[in-house]
Chain A
């Protein structure tokens, strides 16, 4: 008997999903938060130093804000496009996990504190494990920052 493939696609462009995109963005949030926490405010008497500080501070904040939103966007793609009703049997807390992680992205925007950013990365790790388990693969968690 001939053997072939028959496609049961849900959507034309469906295909490539990987929580690595969310992980890289969440790592950037953590990195910017650490850099912000390490900044020292120069004397306002030194105009050049203060301008340089303000510029650096603003850029770190802008990147943190942008990468936190990117993390949220990447998580929502996994939640709403990749994960299907069938996955709820294996991951009954799937919706709560994603909902909390998406809210954590907003927490990272609100604060300049390392703890919330670390918590976000932990949440992305949990989603990484859920995702690869759903595909029957054992993909180790590796971060760019080591």
Chain B
């Protein structure tokens, strides 16, 4: 199933700016095929009901190291650690920025 997400925040700037919309799929095949460089939607490890959008920087022992694109900083695996596979809720397949 595809889900449309509105982006809040600047950590994926400039590829995905604040206010942009993306479409992500939760197709198990697409999630299983996630590779470095893909943009994914993942559950925040300790903030209930919050999902993050980040880019896969590395795969370590079956876990995903997620980083934001923005040079000025991002709340991501550098602070939160690698994400477990069950935290990944979608892979971005389409981006619509103004």
A: number of interface residues (CB 8 Å)? 16
Segment among B15-23, B29-37, B56-64 that sits at the interface with chain A: B15-23
Is B6 a contact of A10 with CB atoms below 8 Å? no
Q: How far is the CB of B71 from chain A (nearest CB, A)?
A: 6
Segment among A1-9, A57-65, A68-76 that sits at the interface with chain B: A1-9
Interface centre among A1, A2, A9, A12 (most CB of B within 10 A): A9
B96 interface hit (Cβ, 8 Å): no
Is B4 a contact of A10 with CB atoms below 8 Å? no
How many angstroms from the CA of A4 to the CA of B5 in the assembled complex? 5
Is B9 a contact of A7 with CB atoms below 8 Å? yes
Interface string of A1-37 (1 = CB under 8 A from B): 1111111111110100000000000000000000000
How many angstroms from the CA of A35 to the CA of B26 in the assembled complex? 65
A85 interface hit (Cβ, 8 Å): yes
